[in-house]
Structure 1
């Protein structure tokens, strides 16, 4: 391994550890990626953070909230959000180049980082005679395989050598190429990306290799029940529109693609007037504009036929599709045709989805998950592209509850056309839009994506601002009206992916900005407190972390820490479960437990003006959780379902086997979720005992970042954390894993893909060799690595 590669890996690692965004991610968001050709429909699955107005409601699933008087002029939160957007975009520069390309430039000197994105208005729905082949996705894979002046691997290597990252993704209606790197290297990023989209050569030998890679991705998708139910829904809901084809394509059609097909499609669609270039970061706008004009000066327009897509005919009867297989749990998606983004009803449908199924206090979660206990998870979403949209509900449940869950869901949806929606429910959705829009401003990549998508979908980089205003005008009557108009039986489509009945055995398939100061305090009871002031946005973040996880578990109680962590926010001695959920969501905040192999705790994000009360709430949940028997039963069942869902994934099964081989006799061989058998042994007494053992002052660390005063946070923490009982971190017996190596284990599963894992014993985090191994990890990762 060369010294240059080691230096590059160290730079990447340093950039990751420095936490350029300095924030917690609210909720688990997964970028839409090329892998599997995921579609931009929410439902707790692949969700593009680069499509916030198109899939507006779901992007802040964990942040839905309410606040009295949200209407502009009555709530300073709205004015604050709009002012933040205005400040952030004050220097925005929009130019249309002579060749038709749109250029967006924004200077942001808060960190020495730049994000460069090139959006191409071509996706899987534009593939014409190649519909269903995944041609757009194939081009995304091939675009970095070399140009007229850069060989195979050089594109990614040049970006990685600066300490940056380069990647791409494909959607129904666009393909996006993006790079994030230290701002002093912005010319390298621009030169590499502009060269790739203008001069890609698509080498024949690389195409042969990449076809095998994509075929493996297709196999992975076929093994993923979450993707399967997505595909099943789309191909059933749409009979004419190209939305019915998966972005990654069908295997039998993809296999017939040739390099000539790629060259022809790219030449017709990768034209400058079909692109938006967005650059945000610590740069000089004049220099960047001049460089972009120079980079694109020889990129001429070419004639291109307009993209005319078939209109989906009105659905006049309910539709349903079902697939059964080697699955452990049931997944259901119920959807209704709605409207495109430009339709006046789009904001009301977005708000209805938030009110109905986003957040623990939403209607569907409270009534179908919490009260009826028919599902493990449920959420609503609204997908609004420039074409026809979909309003949907996604559920994860045990197969024996399928009929009851569907009946309860249909009854609930039918009631919305005559139900009374409370103003407080609307306010939650409005606050969600506010926090989502503000969250975009926290990173260069987020801001670049927000500007690009506004330009892409509305020819207005600041479309989010006007959309927020449209949302403020929605009334309870509007929600009833759109429910009555669109959520009808004849307009419904239901897709089900469920376990095959036991009577039918499964048949295996054959196939640098200014430094931000960090301060460390030690409270009177010994708890370390880390505080970092960052006043760029009106957010505050906090984490209370405790040593725990599987490290303090045995086979007998495996999963107890995970179960305990989920119960922390399910009520306290003075607050009910619903009180806790309502308090969080009413303020547009995010609070969630976390649990892993070494630790567990609570993390939160809120407006900085609300920090005191949410620190109080978090400590209350940590010190005096109710741990009610009814909640134990529900969470235990949800955790059991999560185990079954994980065991459907070949990668999970392989990782499980690898842990057994590397950590015999050590807690690390266990998984934080536990096993169905160990969960069954966990009663309230054992859970409470585990909490009392770990939730002591000597086993807690706290951190607060954001728009805060370090001294005030310290004083508040002194008072709040004094509630924790005294005690030292529980000791661990001398744990050593003595694997018998080398070892080889093979396991057969009824799946399409093969998974190969190779593992080696590592070192402890405190070992002086840990940093070297981390650098080695980054050096061997990525598209330009030796592997």
Structure 2
């Protein structure tokens, strides 16, 4: 069972403290702001801000920021996705105050110096080009654009080069002034650090940050219409995505889809698609199934790469595996094996302290609570074959699936 403490400062900042006995600790800010919170002329702004907060504050230059944790063996990290931006540090427990002070400085006091913007935009442009050179990554973004046309959830996280070149300091300040507010974020800390120290340190560091409401408008996607699309990419290998919109993060059916997704193309080498496409026939090197749950929708997708001449055969085999799950209830032995496997995978994955801290921060940010592993296991154990059959027929129906092909 995960032990944790939560409290809220007078300025509205929620704090979660996860104690353990490790000498390595993690802390950071998780902000409820991602690419879906950008306006049309801001595409790429959330990711741009994530880069730029390391480039200067009211009291630090870029070098001082980068050197602050590195000189004691710690690390600074950040990532941006469609709904969150997370800025965090890993360090030895005695350096908690150093890490918390630095993170508070860059999250609330970044100046986004124009001379640094001009350099960092070039870095992001190189990142975009690198991404475009990897079709096995790019196709995931193009598939989400297929599922969410003309909606922020369908936009590329990295943004558009023509817009990035126009970004100025004031644009970044405007974005953060509206979304980087204490009422729209949480602070998390995991490690062998006393709760009294956490309260004292984070309270002192943020006592000058005002309590301000967050003005954020997220529009729901338009109704989903399945589509099939082929794009010419002149790649040596064909890349294929098959999938649909999935359940949102609050939908009880998500657990059933999670289990079916794991059976189809999870990390296990015994997944149905890996066995049927790779082990039995040698048609693909990599095949995987993935789920992403947003606050009001989701994505289910299957990805594989194959020889161009094998596209139709691979799609046909994939469709047959989906049809099996639609037409046939899992036997009790199949269901028990699937449950045992996914529970074991969750248990093994939970041994990673850094991933734990990030997962807990996301849960606390959106749900204001932490779901215990025992609770997740119980929801999995309660699944029955009838429920899974209903989910399979809803999610894997032929007329509900979209397909994107690079060839």
Task: Specify the alignment match of 1:118 in structure 2.
Answer: 29
Deviation at 1:436, TM superposition (A): 4.1
Task: Specify the alignment match of 2:212 in structure 1.
Answer: 302
Deviation at 1:291, TM superposition (A): 0.7
Whether the 8 Å CA contact 2:44–2:164 is kept in 1: the answer is: yes
Task: Specify the alignment match of 2:304 in structure 1.
Answer: 395
Deviation at 1:212, TM superposition (A): 0.9
Task: Specify the alignment match of 1:137 in structure 2.
Answer: 47
Whether the 8 Å CA contact 1:146–1:202 is kept in 2: the answer is: yes
Larger radius of gyration: 1
Task: Specify the alignment match of 2:239 in structure 1.
Answer: 331
Whether the 8 Å CA contact 1:228–1:497 is kept in 2: the answer is: no
* Secondary structure in structure 1 of the residue aligned to 2:25: strand
- Distance change in 2, residues 1:152/1:368 (3 Å): closer
Whether the 8 Å CA contact 2:148–2:221 is kept in 1: the answer is: no
Question: CA deviation digits over 1:459-508, x for unaligned, max 9?
Answer: 2123544232211111122221111122222321111122xxxxxxxxxx
Task: Specify the alignment match of 1:239 in structure 2.
Answer: 149
Deviation at 1:424, TM superposition (A): 3.4
- Distance change in 2, residues 1:425/1:341 (3 Å): farther
Taking the aligned partners of 1:425 and 1:382, their CA distance within structure 2 comes to: 21
* Secondary structure in structure 1 of the residue aligned to 2:284: coil
Taking the aligned partners of 1:355 and 1:386, their CA distance within structure 2 comes to: 24
Which range moves more in the overlay, 368-377 or 488-497?
Answer: 368-377
Normalized against structure 1, the TM-score is what? 0.50
Structure 1: where are the runs of 5+ without partners? 1-85, 499-787
Taking the aligned partners of 2:166 and 2:111, their CA distance within structure 1 comes to: 20
Taking the aligned partners of 2:105 and 2:337, their CA distance within structure 1 comes to: 45
Taking the aligned partners of 2:103 and 2:281, their CA distance within structure 1 comes to: 52
- For residues 399-438 of structure 1, what are the structure 2 equivalents within 5 Å? 399-438=308-347
Deviation at 1:407, TM superposition (A): 1.9
2:179 maps to 1:288: no
Whether the 8 Å CA contact 1:333–1:496 is kept in 2: the answer is: yes
Match 1:277 to one of 168, 181, 187: 187
Task: Specify the alignment match of 1:782 in structure 2.
Answer: none
Taking the aligned partners of 1:256 and 1:93, their CA distance within structure 2 comes to: 43
* Secondary structure in structure 2 of the residue aligned to 1:416: helix
Whether the 8 Å CA contact 1:369–1:376 is kept in 2: the answer is: yes
* Secondary structure in structure 2 of the residue aligned to 1:153: helix
Task: Specify the alignment match of 1:475 in structure 2.
Answer: 384
Deviation at 1:382, TM superposition (A): 2.1
- For residues 603-618 of structure 1, what are the structure 2 equivalents within 5 Å? none
Match 2:94 to one of 184, 188, 211: 184
Normalized against structure 2, the TM-score is what? 0.94
Taking the aligned partners of 2:380 and 2:230, their CA distance within structure 1 comes to: 36
Deviation at 1:151, TM superposition (A): 1.7
Taking the aligned partners of 2:325 and 2:18, their CA distance within structure 1 comes to: 43
Task: Specify the alignment match of 1:267 in structure 2.
Answer: 177
* Secondary structure in structure 2 of the residue aligned to 1:201: coil
Question: CA deviation digits over 1:304-360, x for unaligned, max 9?
Answer: 323322333132xx4122222342212111011221021121111111111222222
* Secondary structure in structure 1 of the residue aligned to 2:232: strand
Task: Specify the alignment match of 1:747 in structure 2.
Answer: none
Deviation at 1:381, TM superposition (A): 2.2
Deviation at 1:457, TM superposition (A): 3.1
Deviation at 1:240, TM superposition (A): 4.0
Question: CA deviation digits over 1:77-119, x for unaligned, max 9?
Answer: xxxxxxxxx2xx33x110111111110112222x321111210
Match 2:132 to one of 222, 227, 248: 222
Task: Specify the alignment match of 1:64 in structure 2.
Answer: none
- For residues 358-757 of structure 1, what are the structure 2 equivalents within 5 Å? 358=266, 359-439=268-348, 441-462=350-371, 464-498=373-407
Taking the aligned partners of 2:334 and 2:91, their CA distance within structure 1 comes to: 41
Which range moves more in the overlay, 297-306 or 214-223?
Answer: 297-306
Whether the 8 Å CA contact 1:232–1:321 is kept in 2: the answer is: no
Number of equivalences: 406
Taking the aligned partners of 1:235 and 1:342, their CA distance within structure 2 comes to: 23
Whether the 8 Å CA contact 2:37–2:216 is kept in 1: the answer is: no
Taking the aligned partners of 2:238 and 2:119, their CA distance within structure 1 comes to: 36
Question: CA deviation digits over 1:264-308, x for unaligned, max 9?
Answer: 001111001111111111212111111111111111123432332
2:103 maps to 1:193: yes
Match 2:254 to one of 336, 346, 355: 346
Task: Specify the alignment match of 2:16 in structure 1.
Answer: 104
Deviation at 1:142, TM superposition (A): 0.5
Question: CA deviation digits over 1:582-620, x for unaligned, max 9?
Answer: xxxxxxxxxxxxxxxxxxxxxxxxxxxxxxxxxxxxxxx
Question: CA deviation digits over 1:710-738, x for unaligned, max 9?
Answer: xxxxxxxxxxxxxxxxxxxxxxxxxxxxx
- Greater percentage in helix: 2
Higher relative contact order (CA 8 A, sep 6+): 2
Whether the 8 Å CA contact 1:240–1:313 is kept in 2: the answer is: no
Taking the aligned partners of 1:465 and 1:440, their CA distance within structure 2 comes to: 14
- For residues 30-179 of structure 1, what are the structure 2 equivalents within 5 Å? 86=1, 89-90=2-3, 92-109=4-21, 111-131=22-42, 133-179=43-89
Taking the aligned partners of 2:192 and 2:362, their CA distance within structure 1 comes to: 21
Deviation at 1:389, TM superposition (A): 1.2
